[in-house]
A = this chain, B = another copy of it.
Amino acid sequence: MQIGFVSAESGQGRAKNVRNILLKNSVNIMLCAVCWWAVGYAFAYGKTAGGLLGVSHFFSDGETFDSKPWFFTWAFCLSAVTIASGCLAERTHLFVYPVYTAVVSIVVHPVVAHWVWAPDSWLNSRIGCPCRFLDFAGGAVVHIVGGLTGLIGAILCGPRMGRFEDGVNKEIPGHDVSSVSLGSLMLWFGWFGFNCGSTYIYMADGGPAASAAVSRVALNMTLCASAAGMTSLVVASLQTGTFDLAVCCNGLMAGLSASTANVGFITPWASCITGILAGLLYVGCSRLLVRLGIDDPLDSSAIHCGSGLLGVVVSGFLARPAYVRSMVGRSCGGLVYGTRGGIQLGMQMLGLAVSIAWTAFWSVVTFVTLKRFNLLRVDQQTELAGIDNMEHGGPAYPEFLQRVQSSRTGF
């Protein structure tokens, strides 16, 4: 329990980045809670119907929560929603947030979670594969779902006004780099909750084996994040000549995302390698987004979708059979350990493919529908004046208005 709320608290860290998305994030949290209680939890963790979908425990019916506590699972769902919201900031219609939040927390995340984490889902037990798809704490279920939803939203929404004017890439800096940095560090430590908590769920009998596993998970995460943060910082500074705090923080986040899928299955050395790859991949993805003219204000898709992919693939190469056996009870492992490595790697690819396909399908449907009804983006006037002024304030709060303006010009 404990675990969940620190993680969720950390979710707020991102909220700091941009003041005018605070309300939207608050609404996301509240709506996601209701959706998750009503339907999402049931779809994800209820008794399976043919391996496709959970169909019990709607509205927390039956009151037994088995091994997966409601709050902890909600924190995962909320993370996916929050990751996506980062990509949509500063130009999206207020109506978009509740819509996509409902879609992600009712249809997208729960179904992927069921496929990936239910031991008796079609993916894990009905296709005759001796290995399970390995996603330790949500590399696919949270980070790819959230990052990809956000990426598709950002593409369909288009860039903010002035971001790529006349074909030139113009960075729009955040208003408070101190908040970004502190938020990232909070997220880092909140992440321990997700991964260490997941360890206890895999090893529910507890005891010294579970304690040792938690220690290893904490160490792996720390190394992966540190390696990724330092790698991005150094690589980016070689290109630009300056040390950029934001790149360092985002690299660190990328390292955490990359470690999420595999942190319990690999060794500390493998985590260092994963971290270095994640740092490089983040810098690359970030540049690719710019090259493609996609405006992701927080680089959320580069961080979460890119590294989520990497993390899942890493398990196919580096998962240590002894760890996999103790966690999920299958005698499988990554390619470098030889033990049926090809099968595990294939399984990772299959799981990735279906997660991506399901997420992409619903995101496209959602955002295209919103666009059709002209509900995706605020009008130009509102965007220029700032959404705060047009939708959340107005003449009723003159001092507040003044402050917002001054924070746009001066501060």
Contact = CB atoms under 8 A, between A and B. Distances in A.
Contacts of A392: 242-245
Nearest to A213: B63
A229 B27 CA distance: 8
Contacts of A69: 211, 214-215, 218
B245 A186 contact: no
Contact of A63 (B182, B214, B216): B216
Nearest to A244: B392
A59 interface: yes
Contact of A34 (B8, B223, B407): B223
Given A8-B189, A177-B400, A178-B16, A22 B230 contact: no
A229 B70 contact: no
Given A37-B219, A223-B33, A268-B37, A26 B212 contact: no
A318 interface: no
A205 interface: no
Contacts of A71: 192, 215, 218-219, 222
A335 interface: no
Of the candidates A211, A214, A242, the one having the most CB atoms from chain B within 10 angstroms of its own CB is A242
A23 interface: yes
Interface string A230-259: 100100000011111100110010000000
Nearest to A222: B33
Of the candidates A19, A26, A60, A229, the one having the most CB atoms from chain B within 10 angstroms of its own CB is A26
B399 A60 contact: no
Chain A interface size, as a band, is: 35 or more
A327 interface: no
Interface in A365-407: 391-394, 396-397, 399-400, 402-403, 406-407
Nearest to A173: B400
B396 A226 contact: no
Contacts of A22: 177-178, 181-182, 245
A248 B268 CA distance: 43
B399 A173 contact: yes
Contact of A182 (B16, B60, B94): B16
Contact of A65 (B172, B215, B252): B215
Given A16-B178, A29-B185, A37-B268, 6 more contacts: A15-B182, A22-B181, A22-B182, A27-B248, A69-B214, A243-B392
28 contacts: A1-B192, A5-B6, A6-B189, A16-B182, A22-B177, A23-B245, A26-B229, A26-B249, A26-B252, A30-B225, A30-B229, A30-B230, A31-B226, A33-B223, A33-B226, A34-B223, A34-B272, A59-B268, A70-B218, A94-B243, A172-B399, A175-B403, A242-B391, A243-B391, A243-B392, A406-B410, A410-B410, A411-B411
